[in-house]
Amino acid sequence: MNSATWRLIAVEGKLCVRDRAALVWGVACPLVVLVILGGIPSLREPITADLTVFDVYVPVLILFNVAILAMTALPSTLAGYRENGVLRRMRTTPVGPVRVLAAQLVANFVIALVAMALFLLVAGLGFGVEPPRHPLGFAVAWLLATAALLSIGLLVTALVPSRAAATAIGTLLFFPMMFFAGLWVPIAQMPPILQNVSAYTPLGAGMAAFQDSYLGGFPSWQPLAILVAYAAICAVVAVRWFRWE
Amino acid sequence: MPPVIEVTHLHKRYDDKVAVDDVSFTVDKGEIFGILGRNGAGKTTTVECVEGLRAPDRGTISVLGLDPLADRAELTRRLGVQLQAGMLPGRLRVGEALELYSSFYPRPADWRGLLHDLGLSEKARYADLSGGQKQRLSIALALVGSPDVAILDELTTGLDPQARRDTWELIEGVRARGVTIVLVTHFMEEAERLCDRIALIDRGRVVVVDTPAGLAERAQAEQRIRFRPSREFDTGLLADLPEVSGVGGRGEFVVVTGGDGALNAVMAVLARHQIVAERLRVEQAGLEDAFVELTGRKDAE
């Protein structure tokens, strides 16, 4: 990587931070929810031998953050770049538009990483939630879930015709995805059929992998394989059919 | 010395619409080469093929000895491009954009100098710039890589007259440093002021390539002599002159059109009849007349 690539990543990072909407909805909002839920005593009662409702919500909010960045911020930014000729302008430089896409992905990845660390810190120091008992397993689960989501976001960007459509479709996908991650009803309390569906959604698989690592084991192969499949298939399709103009 | 740009029998169609029918021209090192034509004549498609943004359906293009499609990587380092709608992210600041773009090139120009020359403010956000400021920034971005060749599309569209003149001076300064410039425009005054040679494009074809003065001459345009006679007289006296092609009047003024000798012949007749030509004005044909004459149509827009 040369200095142009680094500078591009730094600039895209700055632009992401200046995009207040992404930070407010993607970072501040889940953080506030975390603090509010942490302040409700009944949620701190154990529902199983090991976990309280609040414990379960920490990984849900981590996924909420990644999903906002990947499903709304990334597609609307990149589709906007395409619409406004930013990508076209880059085609006339030695750097090319592919690296703009890469820089956006890296910038969102870094923001998600910082937000995840922040959530774990606030939950741990503020409310005594224990960190995942299998840190490596948790890291792998987070990496694969983030890769799967960014890949889906890229696929949305690749196929939609406009910025407005990117924002609409990203948002439309966000809500069912969050539902199956257990944002409104914890997965454990869903009817069996919904639990089965959840296991095959990216965020449902992500939650399953998180839960394994919270309980102390390395995540089982099934959710990890599902996340890898989402990441790989969506990335390949996105790269193959990306509309540059 | 081989030409810097060589376009031979370029043809490009979109679906069933022919954008460029048959375009050939060469651009020599260090010149400002104008591509002039009305909107939809095929100017922008032509330069987009030269820039490597579009693949021609037929014909060959060579820029600095490179193939715009096969040698993209090398070409982008040496060719500066200003797009008609070259955009940047709205939250990017002017200074950041120039610094970023200068990092793309092996031997960049001093971006702060460009910023100053173009009267841009470093901290302004792209989204807050006026149309003219955006235009100037896009010119700066085309020049920030110290290119050997710069292609500028609709350079001064949206600029006020003062900014337009400042930009022209800047372009002349860039040429003085040895940069070859291709200027796409539908603006006659700009082509006349800046270009060494002009390719006139109409309906996807090159009508003619010549110097601005040569173009005006080709149009065989006549001079127009306009004056107020000191007393009334029979204008038939002038119409009979072999050098004169037409006589008309506008109010108390007489307007005579004719070839090179018309002025002398008219003056001689007037002198013989002791008529003084008050407020005499002689107009030579300009590029605008040449354009109409050579494309056979009015309205350069």
Strand B180-185, strand B32-36: pairing: parallel
Q: What is the DSSP string of chain B?
A: ---SEEEEEEEEEETTEEEEEEEEEEE-TT-EEEEE--TTSSHHHHHHHHHTSS--SEEEEEETTB-TTTTHHHHHHHEEEE-TT----TT-BHHHHHHHHHTTSSS---HHHHHHHTT--TT-BGGG--HHHHHHHHHHHHHTT--SEEEEESTTTT--HHHHHHHHHHHHHHHHTT-EEEEEES-HHHHHHH-SEEEEEETTEEEEEE-HHHHHHHTTPPEEEEEEESS---THHHHTSTTEEEEEEETTEEEEEESTTHHHHHHHHHHHTT--EEEEEEE---HHHHHHHHHT-----
CA distance A156 to A74: 9
My answer on whether B249 and B235 are in the same domain is yes
Substitution target from A3, A93, A98 for chain B, most B beta carbons within 10 A: A93
Q: Among B165, B183, B217, where does a domain finish?
A: B217
Name every chain A residue with its beta carbon within 8 A of the beta carbon of B145.
Answer: 93-94
Same domain, yes or no: B73 and B141:
yes
Q: What is the CATH number of the domain that holds B133?
A: 3.40.50.300
Q: What is the pLDDT of residue B170?
A: 84
Confidence of residue A121 (pLDDT cuts 50, 70, 90): very high
- Could you tell me the two tokens for A141? 């689960």
In terms of domains, do B118 and B239 share one? no
Q: What is the pLDDT of residue B269?
A: 87
Structure tokens at B3: 């030409």
> Do the Cβ atoms of B83 and A85 come within 8 Å?
yes
Structural domain for B97, as ranges: 5-217
Residue B175 sits in the same domain as residue B212: yes
What residue in A sits closest to B74 (Cα-Cα)? A94
CA distances from B23 to B14, B34, B47, B58, B71 (A): 16, 14, 11, 10, 22
Does B209 share its domain with B227? no
Residue B280's Cβ-count burial label (10 Å; 0-12, 13-18, 19+) is: middle
Percentage of chain A modeled with pLDDT above 90: 65
Whether A173 is in a domain gets the answer yes
pLDDT value at A233 more than 90: yes
Per the model's pLDDT, the better-predicted residue between A124 and A46 turns out to be A124
**Which percentage of chain B shows pLDDT scores above 70?**
94
Q: What is the pLDDT of residue A220?
A: 92
Within-domain flag for B298: no
Letter string b/e over residues A73-86, b meaning 16 or more CB atoms within 10 A of that residue's CB: bbbbbbbbbbbbbb
pLDDT (tens digit, 9 = 90+) per residue, A133-178?
Answer: 899 999 999 999 999 999 999 999 999 999 999 999 999 999 999 9
Domain holding A217, by residue range, is 3-183+193-240
User: What total number of domains does chain A contain?
Assistant: 1
Last residue of a domain, one of B189, B217, B245: B217
What pLDDT is attached to residue B297?
Answer: 61
The answer to whether B152 contacts chain A (CB < 8 Å) is no
Over residues B51-68, the mean pLDDT reads 93
- Please tell me the predicted confidence (pLDDT) of residue B238: 84
- B103–A3 CB contact, under 8 Å: yes
Same domain, B253 and B116: no
Judgement on whether residues B192 and B90 belong to the same structural domain of the protein: yes
**A59, A42 in Cβ contact below 8 A?**
no
- The whole-number pLDDT of residue B300 equals 42
Same domain, B261 and B148: no
What is the rounded CA–CA span in Å between residue A110 and residue A130? 24
Supply the pLDDT for residue B220: 61
What digits encode the pLDDT tens for the residues B252-284? 888 888 877 788 888 888 888 888 888 888 877
Q: How many domains does chain B have?
A: 2
Tell me whether residue A188 is in a domain.
no
CB-based contact B224:B282 (threshold 8 Å): yes
The model's pLDDT over A41-90, given as tens digits with 9 standing for 90+, comes to 888 777 776 777 788 888 999 999 999 999 999 999 999 999 988 998 99
At A119, is the pLDDT very low, low, confident or very high (cuts 50, 70, 90)? Answer: very high
pLDDT given for residue A26 in this prediction: 87
Q: Let me know if residue A31 belongs to a domain.
A: yes
Q: Are A100 and A12 in contact (CB under 8 A)?
A: yes
Buried b / exposed e over A99-130, threshold 16 CB at 10 Å, is bbbebbbbbbbebbeebbebbbebbeeebebe
Judge whether residue B73 has pLDDT over 60: yes
Q: How far is CA A140 from the centre of its chain?
A: 14
Residue A1: per-residue pLDDT: 53
- pLDDT tens column, B97-142: 999 999 999 999 999 988 888 888 899 999 998 888 888 898 899 9
Confidence of residue B161 (pLDDT cuts 50, 70, 90): confident
Shortest alpha-carbon distance between residue A84 and chain B (Å): 6
ipTM over 0.90: no
Distance from CA of A87 to the nearest CA of B (A): 9
Which of A15, A86, A93 lies at the smallest CB-CB distance from B87?
A86
CATH code of B233's domain = 3.30.70
pLDDT in tens, B4-39: 999 999 999 988 889 999 999 999 999 999 998 888
Predicted confidence band of residue B85 (pLDDT cuts 50, 70, 90) = low
pLDDT of residue B84: 66
Closest Cα in chain B to A18 = B91
**A94, B52, B81, B140, B150 from B147: Cα distances, Å:** 12, 16, 9, 11, 6
Which range, A54-68, A224-238, B152-166, is most confident?
A224-238
pLDDT at B298: 54
Same domain, B175 and B30: yes
Domain co-membership, B231 together with B86: no
Contact A84 B92 (CB under 8 A): no
Q: Which of B52, B85, B92 sits opposite A85 (nearest CB)?
A: B85
Tell me, yes or no, whether B119 lies in a domain.
yes
Domain boundary among B168, B189, B217: B217
The pLDDT assigned to B283 comes to 77
Segment among A114-128, A174-188, B154-168 with least mean pLDDT: B154-168
Per-residue pLDDT at B221 = 60
Q: What is the pLDDT of residues B209-237, one digit of tens each?
A: 999 888 877 766 677 888 888 888 888 88
**Per-residue DSSP letters for chain A?**
--HHHHHHHHHHHHHHHH-HHHHIIIIIHHHHHHHHHHT-GGGGSBSSSS-BHHHHHHHHHHHHHHHHIIIIIHHHHHHHHHHTTHHHHHHTSSS-HHHHHHHHHHHHHHHHHHHHHHHHHIIIIIH-PPPPSSHHHHHHHHHHHHHHHHHHHHHHHHH-SSHHHHHHHHHHHHHHHHHHTTSSS-GGGS-HHHHHHHHHSHHHHHHHHHHHHHTTSPPPHHHHHHHHHHHHHHHHHHHHT----
Mean pLDDT of A195-201: 93
Query: In chain B, what residues touch A8 (CB-CB under 8 Å)?
Result: 100
Same structural domain for residues B228 and B213?
no
C-alpha B200/C-alpha B184 separation (Å) is 10
How, if at all, do strands B5-14 and B17-27 pair?
antiparallel
CA dist., res. B117 & res. B105, Å (int): 20
Pair B119, B23 in one domain:
yes
Q: What's chain A's average pLDDT?
A: 91
